[in-house]
Copies of this chain bind each other. A is one copy, B any other.
Amino acid sequence: MPFTYTGIRVRDLKRSLTFYTKVMGLKKILRGRMNAGGIFLQLKDPRSRQRLELNYYPPGAKYHERFRSGSELDHLAFWERDVDRKYQQMLANGATKAVEPFSGGYRLAFAKDPDGIWIELLGKERRARRRAGSTNV
């Protein structure tokens, strides 16, 4: 019984597809229709092989519901070489602020995707990253 993917519910399929492919680097590998009504797009990260499914239920579909914020999905995590730069790029492309970049062993930041889902950016500390690039520091 391998764990195959995580499915998130989205309110605008095109908006979420653009965000997760153009901004977050995933690739679309599958598109299908649910018998109960709805569309799924399966995405995969070509580097980590992790999968994410975008689930869209139009009004009238059996599992359509008024979108409401809840606790179940804590966050999606992306490893990032330059957390600060990625954070700004996300904000310029449909994400909103959650927690500004900060340091705490790693460099971290949290932004919300177009549906309000928290995305964690995780990378090495800025100093460590700079040192790695120069022997003069």
Contacts and interface: CB of A to CB of B under 8 A. Distances in A.
A52 B130 CA distance: 31
B9 A48 contact: no
A5 B49 CA distance: 10
A31 to B, nearest CB: 15
Nearest to A6: B6
A73 B1 contact: no
Contacts of A68: 69-71
Contacts of A69: 68, 70-72
A24 B4 contact: no
16 contacts: A2-B25, A2-B47, A3-B26, A3-B45, A3-B52, A3-B76, A4-B77, A4-B78, A5-B76, A5-B77, A6-B76, A7-B73, A69-B71, A70-B71, A70-B73, A72-B72
